Chains A and B, each alone.
Chain A
Amino acid sequence: GAGVSQSPSNKVTEKGKDVELRCDPISGHTALYWYRQRLGQGLEFLIYFQGNSAPDKSGLPSDRFSAERTGESVSTLTIQRTQQEDSAVYLCASSLRVASRRTGTDTQYFGPGTRLTVL
């Protein structure tokens, strides 16, 4: 595909239910990132993947949040027992490679996001 895609675009759920959010990165991009954007705020980093492994999970807000990536492609962010404070837009981004001082930077390209509303 031409860009990063995410599904669903909107999700309304009841407090206490589990939700799964999906991200399809740009083909060939080895790095994948999840961010959360609360209403009127900037983005908060959640987790990133290098290939299928997640070296940095420190941004996940609680143990109710988990993510996985398979086949160096699709990633799923799962939120268990959703709470109202989980309501936000969840954005996924991908880049060609993982940036580091050795490899240099690499621009992250963002998907359209999934708007999650927890009632």
Chain B
Amino acid sequence: AQSVAQPEDQVNVAEGNPLTVKCTYSVSGNPYLFWYVQYPNRGLQFLLKYITGDNLVKGSYGFEAEFNKSQTSFHLKKPSALVSDSALYFCAVRPYYNQGGKLIFGQGTELSVKP
């Protein structure tokens, strides 16, 4: 079955330190990969995506993610965390062959950045 896993329910980081939010997937073929962020009482905001090309993709607010095909992972990273980065982060996958656009989401990771 197709699935996305975010192994950590919560990630705690000190401000200024690098952060990583992990995502692995189980989808056949070469999927399209996305990261979204959700702030309280807001919808999901798009951060970045991997479709093809360079394995390291850069997105909004200084975030980047690295696609690793052999490990079927798409971890979200940021070199220096801000308190304002504290939010709920979702990894999502769309199988390349899917013509309906369906996204499969991970369960989300709560990122907490302390001053």
Chains A and B belong together in one complex: no
